[in-house]
Structure 1
Amino acid sequence: MKKTFSLAMVALLMSACTQSPTGREQLLFNNESTMAQMGTQSFDELKKKEKIDTDPKTNQYVQCVAGAITRVLPAEQQGDWEVVVFDSKEVNAFALPGKKIGVYSGLLKVAQTPDQLAAVIGHEVGHVLAHHSNERLTQNQIYSGVSVLAAVALGLSNVDNKGLYMAALGVGATVGVLLPYSRKHESEADQIGLELMAKAGFDPNQAVVLWHNMEQNAGKTPPELLSTHPSPASRIQALSDEVPKVMPYYQKAAIHPQCKRATN
Protein backbone atom coordinates (compact mmCIF):
# COMPACT_ATOMS: atom_id res chain seq x y z
CA MET A 1 0.00 0.00 0.00
CA LYS A 2 2.83 2.38 0.88
CA LYS A 3 4.57 1.57 -2.39
CA THR A 4 1.35 2.16 -4.34
CA PHE A 5 0.80 5.46 -2.57
CA SER A 6 4.38 6.59 -3.19
CA LEU A 7 4.13 5.77 -6.88
CA ALA A 8 0.82 7.58 -7.08
CA MET A 9 2.34 10.64 -5.41
CA VAL A 10 5.29 10.68 -7.82
CA ALA A 11 2.94 10.36 -10.79
CA LEU A 12 0.74 13.13 -9.41
CA LEU A 13 3.63 15.54 -8.91
CA MET A 14 5.06 14.83 -12.35
CA SER A 15 1.73 15.29 -14.09
CA ALA A 16 0.95 18.43 -12.07
CA CYS A 17 4.05 20.35 -13.16
CA THR A 18 3.34 22.94 -15.83
CA GLN A 19 4.11 26.53 -16.84
CA SER A 20 2.05 29.71 -16.65
CA PRO A 21 1.57 31.94 -19.74
CA THR A 22 4.64 33.95 -18.67
CA GLY A 23 6.80 30.82 -18.37
CA ARG A 24 6.71 30.56 -14.58
CA GLU A 25 6.73 26.99 -13.23
CA GLN A 26 3.51 25.89 -11.50
CA LEU A 27 2.12 22.91 -9.64
CA LEU A 28 -1.56 22.23 -10.46
CA PHE A 29 -3.37 19.24 -8.95
CA ASN A 30 -6.90 20.00 -10.21
CA ASN A 31 -8.23 19.58 -13.74
CA GLU A 32 -9.86 22.44 -15.62
CA SER A 33 -13.35 20.93 -15.61
CA THR A 34 -13.23 20.75 -11.81
CA MET A 35 -12.07 24.37 -11.58
CA ALA A 36 -14.77 25.49 -14.01
CA GLN A 37 -17.42 23.72 -11.96
CA MET A 38 -16.14 25.35 -8.79
CA GLY A 39 -16.15 28.75 -10.48
CA THR A 40 -19.71 28.34 -11.73
CA GLN A 41 -21.00 27.17 -8.35
CA SER A 42 -19.28 30.02 -6.54
CA PHE A 43 -20.58 32.58 -9.04
CA ASP A 44 -24.15 31.27 -8.71
CA GLU A 45 -23.88 31.53 -4.93
CA LEU A 46 -22.65 35.11 -5.15
CA LYS A 47 -25.55 36.06 -7.40
CA LYS A 48 -27.92 34.82 -4.71
CA LYS A 49 -26.15 36.74 -1.92
CA GLU A 50 -25.23 40.00 -3.64
CA LYS A 51 -27.48 42.69 -5.05
CA ILE A 52 -27.25 42.81 -8.84
CA ASP A 53 -27.17 46.12 -10.73
CA THR A 54 -29.86 45.97 -13.40
CA ASP A 55 -29.30 49.40 -14.94
CA PRO A 56 -29.26 48.75 -18.73
CA LYS A 57 -26.68 51.43 -19.56
CA THR A 58 -24.26 50.29 -16.87
CA ASN A 59 -24.57 46.68 -17.95
CA GLN A 60 -24.18 47.53 -21.63
CA TYR A 61 -21.03 49.50 -20.84
CA VAL A 62 -19.41 46.77 -18.74
CA GLN A 63 -20.45 44.09 -21.25
CA CYS A 64 -18.87 46.12 -24.07
CA VAL A 65 -15.50 46.33 -22.29
CA ALA A 66 -15.54 42.74 -21.06
CA GLY A 67 -16.59 41.43 -24.46
CA ALA A 68 -13.67 43.19 -26.15
CA ILE A 69 -11.25 41.53 -23.70
CA THR A 70 -12.70 38.03 -24.01
CA ARG A 71 -12.66 38.18 -27.82
CA VAL A 72 -8.83 38.24 -27.83
CA LEU A 73 -8.37 35.29 -25.47
CA PRO A 74 -6.81 32.00 -26.56
CA ALA A 75 -9.24 29.81 -28.51
CA GLU A 76 -9.96 27.47 -25.59
CA GLN A 77 -11.00 30.42 -23.41
CA GLN A 78 -13.21 32.14 -25.96
CA GLY A 79 -16.98 31.76 -26.02
CA ASP A 80 -19.77 33.17 -23.93
CA TRP A 81 -18.47 34.67 -20.70
CA GLU A 82 -21.13 35.54 -18.14
CA VAL A 83 -20.67 39.12 -16.94
CA VAL A 84 -22.57 40.44 -13.92
CA VAL A 85 -22.48 43.92 -12.39
CA PHE A 86 -23.01 43.86 -8.62
CA ASP A 87 -24.62 46.90 -7.01
CA SER A 88 -22.05 47.73 -4.37
CA LYS A 89 -19.78 50.59 -3.33
CA GLU A 90 -16.90 48.11 -3.19
CA VAL A 91 -14.06 48.97 -5.59
CA ASN A 92 -13.50 45.49 -6.94
CA ALA A 93 -13.91 42.99 -9.76
CA PHE A 94 -13.06 39.34 -10.28
CA ALA A 95 -13.00 36.60 -12.89
CA LEU A 96 -13.50 32.89 -12.24
CA PRO A 97 -12.80 29.64 -14.04
CA GLY A 98 -15.92 28.65 -15.94
CA LYS A 99 -15.92 31.97 -17.85
CA LYS A 100 -17.41 34.23 -15.18
CA ILE A 101 -16.72 37.94 -14.61
CA GLY A 102 -18.06 40.06 -11.77
CA VAL A 103 -17.71 43.84 -11.57
CA TYR A 104 -18.78 45.91 -8.55
CA SER A 105 -20.40 49.21 -9.49
CA GLY A 106 -18.13 51.06 -7.04
CA LEU A 107 -15.20 50.26 -9.32
CA LEU A 108 -16.67 52.49 -12.03
CA LYS A 109 -16.00 55.55 -9.88
CA VAL A 110 -12.26 54.76 -9.86
CA ALA A 111 -11.87 53.16 -13.29
CA GLN A 112 -13.03 56.34 -14.98
CA THR A 113 -12.67 55.39 -18.66
CA PRO A 114 -13.31 52.27 -20.76
CA ASP A 115 -9.55 51.75 -21.05
CA GLN A 116 -9.13 51.83 -17.28
CA LEU A 117 -12.00 49.38 -16.80
CA ALA A 118 -10.36 47.17 -19.44
CA ALA A 119 -7.16 47.21 -17.38
CA VAL A 120 -9.05 45.81 -14.37
CA ILE A 121 -11.01 43.21 -16.33
CA GLY A 122 -7.89 42.18 -18.26
CA HIS A 123 -6.05 41.75 -14.96
CA GLU A 124 -8.81 39.62 -13.46
CA VAL A 125 -9.08 37.45 -16.57
CA GLY A 126 -5.29 37.16 -16.41
CA HIS A 127 -5.68 35.32 -13.10
CA VAL A 128 -7.88 32.77 -14.88
CA LEU A 129 -5.53 32.36 -17.85
CA ALA A 130 -2.60 31.76 -15.50
CA HIS A 131 -4.58 29.19 -13.44
CA HIS A 132 -3.91 31.09 -10.23
CA SER A 133 -6.99 29.67 -8.49
CA ASN A 134 -5.86 26.14 -9.29
CA GLU A 135 -2.34 26.90 -8.12
CA ARG A 136 -3.58 28.43 -4.89
CA LEU A 137 -5.95 25.54 -4.23
CA THR A 138 -3.10 23.11 -4.89
CA GLN A 139 -0.93 24.92 -2.35
CA ASN A 140 -3.77 24.74 0.17
CA GLN A 141 -4.21 21.04 -0.49
CA ILE A 142 -0.51 20.53 0.19
CA TYR A 143 -0.72 22.49 3.42
CA SER A 144 -3.84 20.55 4.44
CA GLY A 145 -1.83 17.37 4.83
CA VAL A 146 -1.09 13.98 3.39
CA SER A 147 -4.70 12.80 3.65
CA VAL A 148 -5.81 15.39 1.10
CA LEU A 149 -2.91 14.56 -1.21
CA ALA A 150 -3.71 10.86 -0.92
CA ALA A 151 -7.31 11.46 -1.95
CA VAL A 152 -6.23 13.51 -4.95
CA ALA A 153 -3.43 11.11 -5.90
CA LEU A 154 -5.65 8.04 -5.73
CA GLY A 155 -8.57 9.76 -7.43
CA LEU A 156 -10.86 9.12 -4.47
CA SER A 157 -12.58 12.49 -4.28
CA ASN A 158 -12.09 16.22 -4.17
CA VAL A 159 -11.99 18.04 -0.87
CA ASP A 160 -15.59 18.86 0.01
CA ASN A 161 -14.99 22.27 1.50
CA LYS A 162 -16.96 25.13 -0.03
CA GLY A 163 -15.20 27.74 2.09
CA LEU A 164 -11.79 26.57 0.89
CA TYR A 165 -12.93 26.53 -2.73
CA MET A 166 -14.50 29.99 -2.53
CA ALA A 167 -11.34 31.35 -0.93
CA ALA A 168 -9.13 29.72 -3.54
CA LEU A 169 -11.20 31.29 -6.30
CA GLY A 170 -10.63 34.76 -4.89
CA VAL A 171 -14.20 35.49 -3.83
CA GLY A 172 -13.78 34.52 -0.19
CA ALA A 173 -14.22 38.06 1.11
CA THR A 174 -17.91 37.78 0.28
CA VAL A 175 -18.41 34.60 2.29
CA GLY A 176 -16.19 35.46 5.23
CA VAL A 177 -13.07 33.55 4.17
CA LEU A 178 -10.17 35.20 2.41
CA LEU A 179 -7.15 33.65 0.75
CA PRO A 180 -5.52 36.52 -1.17
CA TYR A 181 -3.57 36.15 -4.35
CA SER A 182 0.17 36.35 -3.77
CA ARG A 183 2.28 39.24 -5.00
CA LYS A 184 3.70 37.06 -7.78
CA HIS A 185 0.16 36.24 -8.90
CA GLU A 186 -0.87 39.89 -8.87
CA SER A 187 2.20 40.95 -10.82
CA GLU A 188 1.73 38.16 -13.35
CA ALA A 189 -1.94 39.05 -13.80
CA ASP A 190 -0.93 42.69 -14.35
CA GLN A 191 1.45 41.59 -17.10
CA ILE A 192 -1.10 39.34 -18.81
CA GLY A 193 -3.89 41.88 -18.42
CA LEU A 194 -1.82 44.63 -19.99
CA GLU A 195 -1.23 42.48 -23.07
CA LEU A 196 -4.92 41.52 -23.27
CA MET A 197 -6.16 45.11 -23.12
CA ALA A 198 -3.64 46.19 -25.76
CA LYS A 199 -4.68 43.37 -28.11
CA ALA A 200 -8.32 44.32 -27.54
CA GLY A 201 -7.60 47.89 -28.66
CA PHE A 202 -7.50 49.65 -25.28
CA ASP A 203 -4.67 52.07 -24.48
CA PRO A 204 -2.28 50.28 -22.06
CA ASN A 205 -1.05 53.63 -20.74
CA GLN A 206 -4.40 53.90 -18.98
CA ALA A 207 -3.47 50.97 -16.72
CA VAL A 208 -0.87 53.25 -15.16
CA VAL A 209 -3.44 56.03 -14.76
CA LEU A 210 -5.84 53.55 -13.18
CA TRP A 211 -3.37 52.66 -10.45
CA HIS A 212 -2.71 56.32 -9.74
CA ASN A 213 -6.49 56.58 -9.24
CA MET A 214 -6.42 53.48 -7.03
CA GLU A 215 -3.62 54.92 -4.95
CA GLN A 216 -5.53 58.16 -4.39
CA ASN A 217 -8.71 56.26 -3.57
CA ALA A 218 -7.08 53.84 -1.14
CA GLY A 219 -5.68 56.35 1.32
CA LYS A 220 -3.30 54.67 3.74
CA THR A 221 -2.21 51.20 2.63
CA PRO A 222 -0.05 48.64 4.45
CA PRO A 223 3.68 48.54 3.62
CA GLU A 224 4.40 46.19 0.74
CA LEU A 225 6.29 43.72 2.94
CA LEU A 226 3.19 43.34 5.11
CA SER A 227 0.86 42.79 2.18
CA THR A 228 0.33 40.05 -0.38
CA HIS A 229 -0.28 42.73 -3.01
CA PRO A 230 2.41 44.88 -4.61
CA SER A 231 2.42 48.43 -3.31
CA PRO A 232 0.76 50.94 -5.65
CA ALA A 233 4.15 52.54 -6.34
CA SER A 234 5.71 49.19 -7.28
CA ARG A 235 2.73 48.31 -9.41
CA ILE A 236 2.79 51.64 -11.25
CA GLN A 237 6.52 51.28 -11.95
CA ALA A 238 6.17 47.70 -13.18
CA LEU A 239 3.26 48.60 -15.46
CA SER A 240 5.13 51.62 -16.81
CA ASP A 241 8.05 49.34 -17.69
CA GLU A 242 5.72 46.89 -19.49
CA VAL A 243 3.71 49.43 -21.52
CA PRO A 244 6.32 49.87 -24.32
CA LYS A 245 6.39 46.09 -24.80
CA VAL A 246 2.65 45.85 -25.48
CA MET A 247 2.14 49.08 -27.43
CA PRO A 248 2.68 47.26 -30.78
CA TYR A 249 -0.38 45.12 -29.97
CA TYR A 250 -2.43 48.27 -29.36
CA GLN A 251 -1.21 49.90 -32.55
CA LYS A 252 -2.02 46.79 -34.60
CA ALA A 253 -5.42 46.16 -33.01
CA ALA A 254 -8.11 45.72 -35.64
CA ILE A 255 -10.71 47.45 -33.47
CA HIS A 256 -10.49 50.20 -30.87
CA PRO A 257 -13.75 49.64 -28.92
CA GLN A 258 -16.07 52.59 -28.52
CA CYS A 259 -17.70 51.57 -25.26
CA LYS A 260 -19.94 54.34 -24.00
CA ARG A 261 -19.52 54.95 -20.30
CA ALA A 262 -22.75 55.02 -18.33
CA THR A 263 -23.46 58.37 -16.69
CA ASN A 264 -25.68 58.94 -13.69
Structure 2
Amino acid sequence: MRKPYLAGITALLLTACATSPTGRDQVLIFSESQMAEMGAASFTSMKESQKIDTNRAHNRYVNCVVDALIPELNRIDPKMRSTRWETQVFVDDSANAFALPGGKIGVHTGMFKVAENSSQLAAVIGHEIGHVWARHGNARVSSQFITSTGLQLAAIAAGEPTQEKKQLLGLLGVGAQVGVLLPFSRGDESEADEIGIELMAKAGFDPRESVELWKNMAKQGSGGAPELLSTHPAPQTRISKLQALMEDSMSDYRQARSEGKNPNCSL
Protein backbone atom coordinates (compact mmCIF):
# COMPACT_ATOMS: atom_id res chain seq x y z
CA MET A 1 0.00 0.00 0.00
CA ARG A 2 2.86 2.38 0.77
CA LYS A 3 4.29 2.47 -2.76
CA PRO A 4 0.99 3.40 -4.48
CA TYR A 5 0.40 6.01 -1.78
CA LEU A 6 3.83 7.57 -2.32
CA ALA A 7 3.36 7.42 -6.08
CA GLY A 8 0.04 9.21 -5.72
CA ILE A 9 1.57 11.94 -3.56
CA THR A 10 4.44 12.36 -6.02
CA ALA A 11 2.04 12.73 -8.94
CA LEU A 12 0.00 15.20 -6.93
CA LEU A 13 3.05 17.32 -6.18
CA LEU A 14 4.15 17.33 -9.80
CA THR A 15 0.77 18.66 -10.93
CA ALA A 16 0.41 21.12 -8.04
CA CYS A 17 3.48 23.28 -8.65
CA ALA A 18 2.67 26.98 -8.98
CA THR A 19 4.34 30.38 -8.91
CA SER A 20 3.39 33.23 -6.59
CA PRO A 21 2.87 36.85 -7.82
CA THR A 22 6.51 37.68 -7.07
CA GLY A 23 7.90 34.49 -8.62
CA ARG A 24 8.22 32.21 -5.61
CA ASP A 25 7.65 28.47 -6.09
CA GLN A 26 4.61 26.99 -4.34
CA VAL A 27 2.80 23.69 -4.07
CA LEU A 28 -0.95 24.29 -4.25
CA ILE A 29 -3.19 21.24 -4.11
CA PHE A 30 -6.55 22.94 -3.71
CA SER A 31 -8.51 24.85 -6.32
CA GLU A 32 -9.54 28.46 -5.83
CA SER A 33 -13.15 27.35 -5.37
CA GLN A 34 -12.17 24.87 -2.66
CA MET A 35 -10.15 27.51 -0.81
CA ALA A 36 -13.00 30.01 -1.18
CA GLU A 37 -15.36 27.45 0.37
CA MET A 38 -13.02 27.01 3.34
CA GLY A 39 -12.64 30.77 3.72
CA ALA A 40 -16.38 31.41 3.55
CA ALA A 41 -17.18 28.67 6.06
CA SER A 42 -14.53 29.95 8.45
CA PHE A 43 -15.72 33.54 8.11
CA THR A 44 -19.34 32.59 8.72
CA SER A 45 -18.32 30.70 11.83
CA MET A 46 -16.33 33.66 13.11
CA LYS A 47 -19.25 36.04 12.57
CA GLU A 48 -21.44 33.70 14.61
CA SER A 49 -18.96 33.33 17.48
CA GLN A 50 -17.42 36.82 17.72
CA LYS A 51 -19.02 40.16 18.47
CA ILE A 52 -19.73 42.17 15.32
CA ASP A 53 -19.13 45.92 15.39
CA THR A 54 -22.30 47.75 14.33
CA ASN A 55 -20.69 51.20 14.51
CA ARG A 56 -21.47 52.74 11.11
CA ALA A 57 -18.45 55.04 11.14
CA HIS A 58 -16.08 52.12 11.76
CA ASN A 59 -17.62 50.02 9.00
CA ARG A 60 -17.72 52.92 6.55
CA TYR A 61 -14.06 53.69 7.27
CA VAL A 62 -12.83 50.13 6.74
CA ASN A 63 -14.94 49.63 3.63
CA CYS A 64 -13.64 52.89 2.19
CA VAL A 65 -10.06 51.60 2.47
CA VAL A 66 -10.94 48.18 1.06
CA ASP A 67 -12.90 49.74 -1.82
CA ALA A 68 -9.83 51.77 -2.80
CA LEU A 69 -7.42 48.82 -2.66
CA ILE A 70 -9.41 46.13 -4.48
CA PRO A 71 -9.63 47.93 -7.88
CA GLU A 72 -5.84 48.13 -7.91
CA LEU A 73 -5.58 44.41 -7.23
CA ASN A 74 -8.03 43.75 -10.06
CA ARG A 75 -5.98 45.90 -12.43
CA ILE A 76 -2.80 44.02 -11.57
CA ASP A 77 -4.47 40.61 -11.84
CA PRO A 78 -7.74 40.58 -13.83
CA LYS A 79 -8.42 37.04 -12.60
CA MET A 80 -9.15 38.50 -9.17
CA ARG A 81 -12.15 40.42 -10.56
CA SER A 82 -14.41 37.43 -9.97
CA THR A 83 -13.77 37.61 -6.22
CA ARG A 84 -16.62 39.21 -4.26
CA TRP A 85 -14.99 40.80 -1.25
CA GLU A 86 -16.76 40.98 2.10
CA THR A 87 -15.55 43.06 5.03
CA GLN A 88 -16.47 42.77 8.68
CA VAL A 89 -15.35 44.77 11.72
CA PHE A 90 -15.19 42.81 14.98
CA VAL A 91 -15.36 44.27 18.48
CA ASP A 92 -12.02 43.21 19.86
CA ASP A 93 -9.37 45.32 21.60
CA SER A 94 -6.50 43.43 19.97
CA ALA A 95 -4.72 45.21 17.12
CA ASN A 96 -5.38 42.64 14.46
CA ALA A 97 -6.69 42.15 10.94
CA PHE A 98 -6.90 39.21 8.56
CA ALA A 99 -8.05 38.15 5.11
CA LEU A 100 -9.31 34.72 4.07
CA PRO A 101 -9.43 32.95 0.71
CA GLY A 102 -12.56 33.86 -1.18
CA GLY A 103 -12.30 37.55 -0.33
CA LYS A 104 -13.17 37.73 3.38
CA ILE A 105 -11.60 40.57 5.38
CA GLY A 106 -11.79 41.08 9.12
CA VAL A 107 -10.58 44.05 11.15
CA HIS A 108 -10.58 44.32 14.93
CA THR A 109 -11.60 47.60 16.52
CA GLY A 110 -8.30 47.56 18.39
CA MET A 111 -6.54 48.24 15.10
CA PHE A 112 -7.94 51.77 15.08
CA LYS A 113 -5.76 52.59 18.09
CA VAL A 114 -2.56 51.58 16.29
CA ALA A 115 -3.31 52.53 12.67
CA GLU A 116 -3.56 56.29 13.17
CA ASN A 117 -4.81 57.20 9.69
CA SER A 118 -6.25 55.63 6.56
CA SER A 119 -2.85 55.06 4.94
CA GLN A 120 -1.70 53.06 7.94
CA LEU A 121 -4.90 51.03 7.88
CA ALA A 122 -4.39 50.50 4.14
CA ALA A 123 -0.92 49.14 4.89
CA VAL A 124 -2.41 46.52 7.20
CA ILE A 125 -5.31 45.54 4.96
CA GLY A 126 -3.15 45.60 1.83
CA HIS A 127 -0.74 43.22 3.52
CA GLU A 128 -3.55 40.81 4.45
CA ILE A 129 -5.00 40.98 0.92
CA GLY A 130 -1.49 40.14 -0.26
CA HIS A 131 -1.59 36.86 1.64
CA VAL A 132 -4.82 35.94 -0.15
CA TRP A 133 -3.65 36.97 -3.61
CA ALA A 134 -0.36 35.09 -3.18
CA ARG A 135 -2.36 32.05 -2.00
CA HIS A 136 -0.30 31.60 1.14
CA GLY A 137 -3.23 29.93 2.91
CA ASN A 138 -3.55 27.41 0.09
CA ALA A 139 0.16 26.63 0.30
CA ARG A 140 0.00 26.03 4.04
CA VAL A 141 -3.18 23.93 3.93
CA SER A 142 -1.68 21.97 1.02
CA SER A 143 1.48 21.30 3.01
CA GLN A 144 -0.55 20.13 5.99
CA PHE A 145 -2.71 17.93 3.76
CA ILE A 146 0.33 16.27 2.23
CA THR A 147 1.81 15.42 5.62
CA SER A 148 -1.47 14.29 7.22
CA THR A 149 -3.93 11.49 6.61
CA GLY A 150 -6.24 13.94 4.86
CA LEU A 151 -8.97 16.05 6.43
CA GLN A 152 -12.46 17.02 5.34
CA LEU A 153 -11.36 20.61 5.45
CA ALA A 154 -14.51 22.44 4.37
CA ALA A 155 -16.58 20.43 6.86
CA ILE A 156 -14.11 21.20 9.62
CA ALA A 157 -14.21 24.92 8.80
CA ALA A 158 -17.99 24.98 9.13
CA GLY A 159 -18.20 22.72 12.18
CA GLU A 160 -17.82 23.02 15.92
CA PRO A 161 -14.71 24.65 17.48
CA THR A 162 -12.61 21.48 17.62
CA GLN A 163 -8.82 21.36 17.71
CA GLU A 164 -8.85 20.45 14.02
CA LYS A 165 -10.86 23.56 13.23
CA LYS A 166 -8.47 25.72 15.23
CA GLN A 167 -5.58 24.23 13.28
CA LEU A 168 -7.28 24.96 9.96
CA LEU A 169 -7.95 28.57 10.98
CA GLY A 170 -4.30 28.86 11.94
CA LEU A 171 -3.25 27.60 8.52
CA LEU A 172 -5.58 30.08 6.81
CA GLY A 173 -4.03 32.92 8.80
CA VAL A 174 -6.51 33.66 11.60
CA GLY A 175 -5.21 31.31 14.27
CA ALA A 176 -4.49 34.12 16.73
CA GLN A 177 -8.24 34.47 17.22
CA VAL A 178 -8.56 30.90 18.44
CA GLY A 179 -5.28 30.51 20.29
CA VAL A 180 -3.31 28.65 17.61
CA LEU A 181 -0.35 30.74 16.52
CA LEU A 182 0.95 29.51 13.18
CA PRO A 183 2.93 32.43 11.78
CA PHE A 184 3.43 32.78 8.06
CA SER A 185 6.98 32.17 6.88
CA ARG A 186 9.39 35.06 6.41
CA GLY A 187 9.05 34.61 2.67
CA ASP A 188 5.27 34.83 2.90
CA GLU A 189 5.45 37.92 5.10
CA SER A 190 7.92 39.70 2.84
CA GLU A 191 5.82 38.92 -0.20
CA ALA A 192 2.63 40.15 1.48
CA ASP A 193 4.44 43.36 2.45
CA GLU A 194 5.64 43.87 -1.11
CA ILE A 195 2.13 43.37 -2.47
CA GLY A 196 0.53 45.47 0.23
CA ILE A 197 2.72 48.53 -0.24
CA GLU A 198 2.22 48.35 -4.01
CA LEU A 199 -1.56 48.18 -3.65
CA MET A 200 -1.76 51.06 -1.17
CA ALA A 201 0.53 53.30 -3.23
CA LYS A 202 -1.35 52.65 -6.47
CA ALA A 203 -4.61 53.39 -4.66
CA GLY A 204 -3.33 56.80 -3.54
CA PHE A 205 -2.44 55.98 0.07
CA ASP A 206 0.92 57.30 1.29
CA PRO A 207 3.32 54.30 1.39
CA ARG A 208 5.55 56.09 3.92
CA GLU A 209 2.82 55.48 6.45
CA SER A 210 3.49 51.74 6.26
CA VAL A 211 6.74 52.42 8.10
CA GLU A 212 4.97 54.60 10.65
CA LEU A 213 2.45 51.83 11.27
CA TRP A 214 5.15 49.38 12.27
CA LYS A 215 6.81 51.98 14.45
CA ASN A 216 3.48 52.28 16.23
CA MET A 217 3.36 48.51 16.55
CA ALA A 218 6.82 48.49 18.11
CA LYS A 219 5.77 51.13 20.65
CA GLN A 220 2.75 49.06 21.61
CA GLY A 221 5.01 46.07 22.17
CA SER A 222 6.54 47.50 25.33
CA GLY A 223 3.22 47.23 27.14
CA GLY A 224 2.11 43.87 25.80
CA ALA A 225 2.59 43.12 22.13
CA PRO A 226 -0.33 43.74 19.76
CA GLU A 227 -1.96 40.57 18.43
CA LEU A 228 -0.52 41.19 14.97
CA LEU A 229 3.03 41.13 16.35
CA SER A 230 2.54 37.63 17.71
CA THR A 231 2.25 36.24 14.19
CA HIS A 232 4.51 38.62 12.25
CA PRO A 233 8.27 39.32 12.11
CA ALA A 234 9.93 41.96 14.30
CA PRO A 235 8.89 45.51 13.35
CA GLN A 236 12.44 46.67 12.59
CA THR A 237 12.96 43.81 10.13
CA ARG A 238 9.74 44.75 8.36
CA ILE A 239 10.56 48.47 8.40
CA SER A 240 13.95 47.89 6.75
CA LYS A 241 12.37 45.86 3.96
CA LEU A 242 9.60 48.39 3.43
CA GLN A 243 12.13 51.20 3.20
CA ALA A 244 13.96 49.24 0.49
CA LEU A 245 10.71 49.26 -1.52
CA MET A 246 9.95 52.92 -0.89
CA GLU A 247 11.44 54.49 -4.04
CA ASP A 248 9.24 52.45 -6.39
CA SER A 249 6.26 52.83 -4.05
CA MET A 250 6.57 56.62 -3.97
CA SER A 251 6.67 56.62 -7.76
CA ASP A 252 3.41 54.63 -7.81
CA TYR A 253 1.94 56.99 -5.20
CA ARG A 254 2.79 60.14 -7.15
CA GLN A 255 1.35 58.60 -10.31
CA ALA A 256 -1.85 57.68 -8.48
CA ARG A 257 -2.24 61.19 -7.09
CA SER A 258 -1.67 62.67 -10.53
CA GLU A 259 -4.57 60.50 -11.74
CA GLY A 260 -6.81 61.94 -9.05
CA LYS A 261 -6.69 58.97 -6.68
CA ASN A 262 -7.01 60.47 -3.21
CA PRO A 263 -9.09 58.15 -0.99
CA ASN A 264 -11.12 60.21 1.45
CA CYS A 265 -11.35 57.63 4.24
CA SER A 266 -11.66 58.78 7.84
CA LEU A 267 -13.37 57.99 11.11
TM-score under structure 1 length normalisation:
0.87
How large is the RMSD of aligned CA atoms in angstroms? 2.2
Give the gaps of 5 or more residues in structure 1.
152-156
* 1:47 equivalent in structure 2: 47
| Identical columns (%) | 47
* 2:97 equivalent in structure 1: 93
1:139 aligns with 2:143: yes
The structural deviation recorded for 1:137 is 1.2
Match of 2:110, SS state, is helix
Quickly say closer, same or farther: Cα 1:158–1:45, change in 2 above 3 A.
closer
Q: 1:179-258 maps to which residues of 2 (within 5 A)?
A: 179-219=182-222, 229-253=232-256, 254-258=259-263
The answer as to whether partners of 1:200 and 1:255 remain within 8 angstroms in 2 is no
The answer as to whether partners of 2:88 and 2:107 remain within 8 angstroms in 1 is yes
The answer as to whether partners of 2:93 and 2:108 remain within 8 angstroms in 1 is yes
The structural deviation recorded for 1:94 is 0.4
Q: 1:123 aligns with which of 121, 124, 127?
A: 127
Give the gaps of 5 or more residues in structure 2.
157-163
User: Residue deviations 1:58-104, cap 9 Å, x none?
Assistant: 11111000111111112222353111111111100001111110011
* 1:168 equivalent in structure 2: 171
Quickly say closer, same or farther: Cα 1:194–1:177, change in 2 above 3 A.
same
**Separation (CA, whole Å) in 2 of partners of 1:169 and 1:210:** 24
**Separation (CA, whole Å) in 2 of partners of 1:220 and 1:112:** 18
Match of 1:71, SS state, is helix
**Separation (CA, whole Å) in 2 of partners of 1:81 and 1:39:** 11
1:10 aligns with 2:13: no
The structural deviation recorded for 1:128 is 0.3
Match of 2:72, SS state, is coil
* 1:154 equivalent in structure 2: none
The structural deviation recorded for 1:220 is 6.8
Give the partner amino acid of 2:142: T
1:68 aligns with 2:68: yes
The answer as to whether partners of 1:183 and 1:228 remain within 8 angstroms in 2 is no
The answer as to whether partners of 1:187 and 1:230 remain within 8 angstroms in 2 is no
* 1:36 equivalent in structure 2: 36
Give the partner amino acid of 1:46: M
